[in-house]
Amino acid sequence: MKVDVTDHGQCKIMKLEGEFFLTSVRQVEDTWNRLVAEAPSVIGIDCKEMCFLDSSAIGTFVKFLHSSMSHNIKLIFFDLNDSIIKIFNKAKLNKIFTIMTREEFESVFLKGPHTSL
């Protein structure tokens, strides 16, 4: 699992690449905690390059939702590929998370001419 962060002021983006298994939870949680400490208004999780997640990853995402709510941060998952959409739908995560396309996310949270991901 590769984790990259981009800073767009009050909007932080955590890009997850590869397979998100139990062995990656600590790395992803550490990155999340650093982002939350910066007190952004939005954290977007870019899922385009994430190809699989297991139940521990799902639990981590649910933990992120609770954390974001308690810190008044909007948590947005965006650019999910087909395999991740299937997992989200099967686990009913599409009912509890805010999910957007890349275009929707950029138009709502990254306004301006030079903010393309």
| pLDDT tens for the 117 residues of the chain, in order | 999 999 999 999 999 999 999 999 999 999 999 999 999 999 999 999 999 999 999 999 999 999 999 999 999 999 999 999 999 999 999 999 999 999 999 999 997 544 444
Position 109 scores a pLDDT of 95
- Residue 30 in any domain: the answer is yes
- Residue 19 in any domain: the answer is yes
User: Domain total for the chain?
Assistant: 1
**H or E segment to which residue 63 belongs:** helix 55-70
- Residue 66 in any domain: the answer is yes
Query: Three-state SS across 68-112?
Result: HHHCCCEEEEECCCHHHHHHHHHCCHHHCCEEECHHHHHHHHCCC
- Residue 114 in any domain: the answer is no
Beta pairing, strands 2-8 & 11-20: antiparallel
pTM value > 0.95: no
| List of residues 6+ apart from 54 with CB closer than 8 A | 20, 21, 22
| Full domain range(s) for residue 72 | 2-109
CATH code of the domain covering residue 98: 3.30.750.24
- Residue 83 in any domain: the answer is yes
- Residue 86 in any domain: the answer is yes
